[in-house]
Structure 1
Amino acid sequence: MTEQSEWRFSDDRGQLSTAPRRPGRVLAYVQAGATLWGLGIRPQAVFGSDHDGPEPDRAKTGTLPLDEVAYVGAGAALDVERLLDGRPDLVVAVSYGGGHVYGLAPETAKPLEERVPVVVIDVSQARTFGEIGDRFAELARSLGAEDRADADADLDAARDRLRTLTATGPAGARRVVALSPAGPDQAHVARPGMWPELRVLTELGVQLVEPAPGPGANWSTLGRAETFALRPDVILTDIRAHAAPLDELRGDGDGSAPVVPWNPEPLYGPRDHARFLGLVADALEAPRTR
């Protein structure tokens, strides 16, 4: 495709976005923007969701250069004029199903789409991590990114390391609990099958603990004692700004298990994913303390 040819991309709603030339001023939901950055595309600006505040959540921004990429706000602070202030020629958003634009109210998303192309990538539990990553990579290539064989090699190596660890040593028997602390008395414990990134760990042999059936599709909300009754050998803890610190939940008596920082809104580039898998492998290799 030449610089002057028409740009076209069909998103996960089946909607075709077009522009006279390849977009260069991309406004993206922070997860999408950080993923694109890892794939070689620098967004002009990013926005957050209702969980976010007036400053970007560093747990979600990955390696985005925040001194170069503007953060335009989140939630109720966003309206069409604020989103269009930097004159973006493309908006990249995510959806958790049904084509709904996550992070933007319908009364904002609809008029926004009437004024600028909007591409929506489905990151719901119905898709595999690899499928989501492939869609982001396809979008990045359409925006001018080049394939990075070294990044794919890093991911292959990280996957091989984790698979070997869980297949041949005691690491495979270690119980891993993924959770989002809700304060000193409660935690939201992830149901692993509902999270594409956690399903990858299961496929690689990691023993992710499944909380008992009950209310909550994605999370099981448990008291502190119930949470640690799951006997975690490794804890993946939500590090987003709206989650409580893990130390509040653990107190003085449950601080022995290695901890892996976990962003439940993961970045889908191969280097970002390899980094996370490496942290999990490091934790599984750590000496047992109980």
Structure 2
Amino acid sequence: MHPRTEGVPLHRTSRRLRRGLLALGLTAGLTACGAAAGTEPAAEGGWEFTDDTGRTVRLDEAPERIAGLNDLTASLWNYGIEPVATFGQTSAEDDVAFEGRDLGDVAIVGSAYGEIDLEALAAADPDVIVATIYPDDSSGEIPEGKEGYGFDDLDHEAQVAEIAPIIRIAYTGSAADVIERVLELAEALGVDTDGGEVAEARADFEAASETLAEAASSGVSVLPVFATQADGWWMAKAQDDPQLKMYADLGVTFVDPGGEDYFWQPVGWEEVPGFPSDVLLYSLRFSMTPEEIAAQPTAAALPAVRAGQLHPWKYIGPDYVSQAAYMEELAGYLEQAEDVTA
């Protein structure tokens, strides 16, 4: 929600971590291609995939060993592709996206933004590395010349690209579209996306979408936040976060916190009471717990906090399986919620 750090704003005085919120980019060593993003038959029986930067990865044969950012490796795993290595802002062991997974055969090569153990990643011997990229602003456009999400800088990304080519999936617009893009990647990697478990997952996703739309029809307002005592109160802008935008498109009423910045509107603790909501979603990544929020004097004055209508905001990946599960969960929160801001 990241951005998708699930969106998690990181300390405003840390250049590396702030850059992580808006990371996006291109990787050296891949062949540029002007064709539309997608897959194409490769020459002489090889394999190729054109990513969302318009760059094409070409290999002699279809890749089997996949590594990459937690957000995407978790989603691909939901389609049956177990990664050989994964990295992210947190360890996969602590990431809700991997809940219930046996990580014994997966190399966890990064557990903080921009910190990837290159030797461990190389030892995992991936054929390709998958990552996301984000816009710089609310236009949704992906600019060129910046590092991809999860990489410390362009030099760092180039070092990773020396190990294996990087495929980037754009995290922009609605997550409904991102889900389809990840599905295209899964299909290119050999997954049957028309039948079997994927067809069942698609049906579950469609049913969950209907459930959430019905629950949202009550009109209760929702505010997703990231908060720490040091950094204050960061409110997400639903139209900038693909996951939240997808929920908004289904009818969820998100509070618009205003402001000119992309993705987040941060305010000091003294300003928090000016942004009431019926339901408060708190980030599970690095944010204060519900108990800590309720103990903060100005946050405690919020209607949702007084009513005990605080629930986890889970940053989970763009795939049918994980999104269906969280949409059902979110629908339950909305169905139980009372209008406490009237």
TM bin (shorter chain):
0.7 to 0.9
Query: Does the 8 A contact of 2:133 with 2:170 survive in 1?
Result: yes
Query: Does the 8 A contact of 2:114 with 2:150 survive in 1?
Result: no
Q: 1:259 and 1:68, CA in 2 relative to 1: closer, same or farther beyond 3 A?
A: farther
Compute the displacement of 1:9 (Å).
0.8
Alignment of 1:65-76 (within 5 A): 65-73=102-110, 74-75=112-113
Query: Does the 8 A contact of 2:224 with 2:281 survive in 1?
Result: yes
Query: Does the 8 A contact of 1:80 with 1:108 survive in 2?
Result: no
Query: Does the 8 A contact of 1:17 with 1:119 survive in 2?
Result: yes
Q: 2:278 is matched with which residue: 233, 251, 255?
A: 233
Compute the displacement of 1:61 (Å).
3.4
Kindly provide the CA deviation profile for residues 3-30 of structure 1, in whole angstroms up to 9, marking residues without a partner as x.
Answer: x952211111111112222211111111
Q: Which residue of 1 aligns with 2:257?
A: 211
Q: Which residue of 2 aligns with 1:220?
A: 265
Q: 2:314 is matched with which residue: 250, 260, 263?
A: 263
Q: 1:284 is matched with which residue: 325, 330, 334?
A: 334
Please state whether the residue corresponding to 2:94 is helix, strand or coil.
coil
Q: Give the Cα separation in 1 of the matches to 2:263 and 2:231.
A: 20
Q: Give the Cα separation in 2 of the matches to 1:185 and 1:43.
A: 34
Q: Give the Cα separation in 1 of the matches to 2:157 and 2:231.
A: 38
Q: 1:231 and 1:70, CA in 2 relative to 1: closer, same or farther beyond 3 A?
A: same
Q: Give the Cα separation in 1 of the matches to 2:50 and 2:100.
A: 27
Q: Identify the range of structure 1 (269-278 vs 92-101) with the bigger mean alpha-carbon deviation.
A: 92-101
Alignment of 1:19-30 (within 5 A): 19-30=59-70
CA-atom RMSD in angstroms:
2.5
Q: Alignment length, in residue pairs?
A: 276
Compute the displacement of 1:197 (Å).
1.2
Compute the displacement of 1:46 (Å).
0.1
Query: Does the 8 A contact of 1:8 with 1:19 survive in 2?
Result: yes
Q: 2:186 is matched with which residue: 134, 140, 159?
A: 140
Please state whether the residue corresponding to 1:102 is helix, strand or coil.
coil
Compute the displacement of 1:76 (Å).
5.6
Compute the displacement of 1:119 (Å).
0.8
Q: 1:86 and 1:115, CA in 2 relative to 1: closer, same or farther beyond 3 A?
A: closer
Please state whether the residue corresponding to 2:239 is helix, strand or coil.
helix
Kindly provide the CA deviation profile for residues 147-202 of structure 1, in whole angstroms up to 9, marking residues without a partner as x.
Answer: 211111111111111222333xxx22x11111111238831011111111111122
Compute the displacement of 1:259 (Å).
2.7
Q: 1:166 is matched with which residue: 196, 199, 216?
A: 216
Q: 1:159 and 1:188, CA in 2 relative to 1: closer, same or farther beyond 3 A?
A: same
Q: Give the Cα separation in 2 of the matches to 1:61 and 1:70.
A: 13
Pair 1:98-2:143 in alignment? yes
Kindly provide the CA deviation profile for residues 83-102 of structure 1, in whole angstroms up to 9, marking residues without a partner as x.
Answer: 21211111111111335321
Give the gaps of 5 or more residues in structure 2: 1-40, 135-141
Q: Which residue of 1 aligns with 2:95?
A: 58
Q: Identify the range of structure 1 (73-82 vs 148-157) with the bigger mean alpha-carbon deviation.
A: 73-82
Q: 1:58 and 1:11, CA in 2 relative to 1: closer, same or farther beyond 3 A?
A: same
Query: Does the 8 A contact of 2:92 with 2:98 survive in 1?
Result: no
Q: Give the Cα separation in 2 of the matches to 1:212 and 1:46.
A: 35
Compute the displacement of 1:206 (Å).
1.3
Pair 1:180-2:226 in alignment? yes
Which amino acid counterpart does residue 133 of structure 1 have in structure 2?
I
Query: Does the 8 A contact of 1:260 with 1:279 survive in 2?
Result: no
Q: Give the Cα separation in 1 of the matches to 2:319 and 2:256.
A: 27
Q: Give the Cα separation in 1 of the matches to 2:167 and 2:234.
A: 31
Query: Does the 8 A contact of 1:26 with 1:45 survive in 2?
Result: yes
Which amino acid counterpart does residue 236 of structure 2 have in structure 1?
A
Q: Which residue of 1 aligns with 2:322?
A: 272
Q: Which residue of 1 aligns with 2:160?
A: 112
Q: Identify the range of structure 1 (12-21 vs 112-121) with the bigger mean alpha-carbon deviation.
A: 112-121
Kindly provide the CA deviation profile for residues 202-247 of structure 1, in whole angstroms up to 9, marking residues without a partner as x.
Answer: 2111111011335x3211112345334422211111101x223232
Q: 1:246 is matched with which residue: 290, 296, 300?
A: 290
Query: Does the 8 A contact of 2:279 with 2:337 survive in 1?
Result: no
Compute the displacement of 1:56 (Å).
4.4
Q: Give the Cα separation in 1 of the matches to 2:202 and 2:85.
A: 26
Q: 1:225 and 1:78, CA in 2 relative to 1: closer, same or farther beyond 3 A?
A: same
Q: 1:25 and 1:94, CA in 2 relative to 1: closer, same or farther beyond 3 A?
A: same
